[in-house]
Chains A and B, each alone.
Chain A
Amino acid sequence: MRTYWQSQHILASGLVAALGVVVAYISFTAEPSRAFLFPRIISSFFAVLALWTFGKALVGKTKVGNGLDRTAVLRLGPGLIVALVYVFWAASTLGFYTATALTVFILLTLYDPSPHDEPRSWVRRAIVTACFVVVMYGLFAMLLNVRTPQEILF
């Protein structure tokens, strides 16, 4: 009977092994072959080491890596989703500063230990968010004059 930890290692090393095999396959079959000379060498080692790791995971001999427990997944899940939405959608759709303000406020709401039923906590979160965005805007837009994604908002 495989433990939750072992199954995780099998899945993770299996994905890496699959990537290694695909990379090796492409390296040995793609044209022009001379452009793939160096990738062929690299991918050979990549595939062998990845399959070795996968084999060790299959027989339960993996020694390193703590894996992910359910509590950690539940804790990091919401933050990770917010971060990915920020990166892959909000920043390029709403504009950098608007998206940043929303993301910071949501992350503070999700992870700030202050109780949610206290109005003071919400005011503090709003102030922290506002201060942070003002500093970012002052630093990047006004002082360093660096371009940021500007879409429907600023």
Chain B
Amino acid sequence: MEFVSYIGDVFTPINFGLLLLGSIGGLILGATPGLSPTMAVALLIPFTFQLDATQGLILLGSVYTSTVAGGAVSAILLKIPGAPANIATMLDGHVMARNGQGAKALQLAFVSSLIGGLFGVGLLITITPILAEWALAFGPSHLFWLAILGVTVIGSLDSPSVVKGLLSGCIGLWLATIGFDDMMGAQRFIFHDAVSGGINIIPALIGLFAIPQVITMFAYGRRPSGAEALSVEPHPIGEAIAEVFRRSRALTIGTLTGSFIGMIPGVGGQIAGLVAYDQSKKMSSESHKFGTGHSEGLIAAESANNAMVGPSLVPLLTLAIPGSPTAAVLLGGLLIHGIFPGSDLFDNHPEVAWTFINSMLFGQILMCVFGLYVAGLAARVAQVPNAVMAAIVLSLAVFGSYSVQHSMGDVYVMAALGTGMYFLERFGFSAAPLVLGLILGPIAEANFVEGAMIANATSNLWVYFMTGTLNLILISVVFVSVIYSVWMELRHSRYTTKDQVVGREEEEASS
């Protein structure tokens, strides 16, 4: 119950102001097609340099929470999912809006998001301190395997091809070795002055997530968005709340599915929404109504999307292993303030950890309250032409990368990585494992070197890294995730990936 003593910190004028700003801004950013939660958080990191760690995390956390929910606005009113996570929301939500129930659909979406989100953050509050204590038992070999696990799980599960996913992870791990080796003082892979100090994580994140989206917008050409916002008629909120609770089966399925999926590193929100929608349809007595503007589908999808947010941060805050690309970006936000997640965070900076977690709890409420009012504005912002969005994102990417160290070298790295990533994505590679490789590479290497020293002094490398219960469990999870993904790939039954979503969006745009 330690979190209770830090609740007051959320309500200091600056912290609450940032929470409000992040919640409202996140709703608008989330409604903007092409601005995914990960990209929005990455672009905002440079704005947190002037803030202290707690304030920065409150801003980033509230934006993360609200962008996930804000994507529902454009999915419902424009039939354009703000993010891949909102694909399932669109299936019934847009039909409801077309039938004159736009306000009701938005209310159901935000109320379901609130309930799912509160449950997810509650889970985060409950599990995190226990796991953080448990993490103290981890030695260098375990941390090494955990870092490798983070890359392989996301590489095998988040990519359309297991081999290309793992290859993307390897590229990220290699990029992380560029620069000076701290242990030996040697230069490694420095082929240009811009990378002489290594690849800075923030410009890399901005480039890898923002630039491919900018180029994708260019690929749409001179084409009007064609998105027409449907008007919304007033609808009593009380009825929407009553309906959400009347559809308790869909709400429970969505909330539990989202929470469970959120804790699995690499799976992410788009899967949570689609799996919850699918399960809710299978278990419903009115399954034939799904896709025709049925509220159950909408409630299941939206509660799952936001229930995923809290649990997706559990591996990050306890083990320093970001379980999703957005968590990886948040890790970057923590590291620039000199804070390392895990037991260090809860022992030495409990005010940062708990104020951040509490702000996510209250952020869910603000998101729901303001979501209903901001929806109309957000839908209009979502109609901003691609050309304007591309120019804005490009300028923010340049500014954000430069402001980290006031170095044009970082801007060049951002642009080079982003452009390269766009072309790699066209050929089935994935940004998420590459980013995790880049972030977890130094953690893996530092623990590998430390472990190797211990092994030389005590036993040998094989015994130190490959034996022991915890090592064996972690190694097993690495292999199981890869084997499971290969099996699923061979059965052609892998879930919808970002690549497919992007492909589908482009097909729709060019047709």
**Which residues of A are in contact with B by a Cβ distance under 8 Å?**
8-9, 12-13, 16, 19-20, 23, 26, 30-32, 34-39, 41-43, 45-46, 49-50, 52-53, 56, 62-68, 71-72, 75-76, 78-80, 83-84, 86-88, 91-92, 96, 100, 103-104, 107-108, 110-113, 128, 132, 136, 140, 144-149
Counted as pairs of residues, one from A and one from B, with CB atoms less than 8 Å apart, the total is 191
Q: Is there contact, CB below 8 Å, between B387 and A35? A: no
Decide if B189 touches A23 in the complex (CB within 8 Å). yes
Q: Are A91 and B219 in contact (CB under 8 A)?
A: no
Q: Are B387 and A112 in contact (CB under 8 A)?
A: yes
CB–CB B218/A111 < 8 A: yes
- Interface of B: prevailing SS: helix
A49 to B423, CA, bound (A): 18
Kindly list chain B residues whose C-beta atoms are within 8 Å of the C-beta of A84.
Answer: 415, 419
> Which of A8, A38, A72, A136 counts the most B-chain CB atoms under 10 A from its CB?
A38
For residue B336, CB closer than 8 A to chain A, the reply is: no
**Residue count of chain B within 8 Å CB distance of chain A:** 67
Interface string of B414-434 (1 = CB under 8 A from A): 110001000110111100000
Q: With A32-B186, A79-B218, A113-B224 given, is the CB distance from A96 to B398 under 8 Å?
A: yes
Q: Is the CB of A144 within 8 A of B215?
A: no
On whether the beta carbons of B184 and A83 are closer than 8 Å, the reply is no
**Nearest Cβ distance between residue B194 and chain A, in whole angstroms?**
11
Please give me the residue from chain B that is nearest to A67 by CB atom: B426
Assess whether B170 is interfacial by the CB under 8 Å rule. yes
B428 touches A64 (CB 8 A): yes
Q: Say which residue of B177, B441, B499 sits within 8 Å of A65 (CB atoms).
A: B499
Q: How far is the CB of A45 from chain B (nearest CB, A)?
A: 5
Interface CB pairs A-B, < 8 A, 29:
A12-B426, A19-B171, A26-B189, A31-B186, A35-B183, A35-B186, A39-B177, A43-B174, A45-B170, A50-B170, A64-B160, A65-B426, A65-B429, A66-B499, A71-B510, A75-B218, A76-B218, A79-B215, A91-B398, A91-B408, A96-B399, A104-B392, A108-B387, A111-B217, A111-B390, A113-B222, A132-B392, A146-B403, A147-B406
Question: A46's contact among B170, B217, B506, by CB below 8 Å, is which?
Answer: B170
Question: CA separation between A104 and B415, bound complex, in Å?
Answer: 17
The answer to whether B394 touches A88, judged by C-beta atoms less than 8 angstroms apart, is no
Of A12, A63, A75, which is within 8 A of B219 by CB?
Answer: A75
Interface residues of B in 380-422 (CB under 8 A from A): 385-388, 390-392, 394-395, 398-399, 402-403, 406, 408, 411-412, 414-415, 419
Contacts of A112 in B (CB 8 A): 222, 385, 387-388
Q: What string of 1s and 0s marks CB contacts (under 8 Å) between B156-179 and chain A?
A: 000011011011001101100100
B50 CB-CB contact with A under 8 Å: yes
- Distance of A115 from chain B, by nearest CB (Å): 10
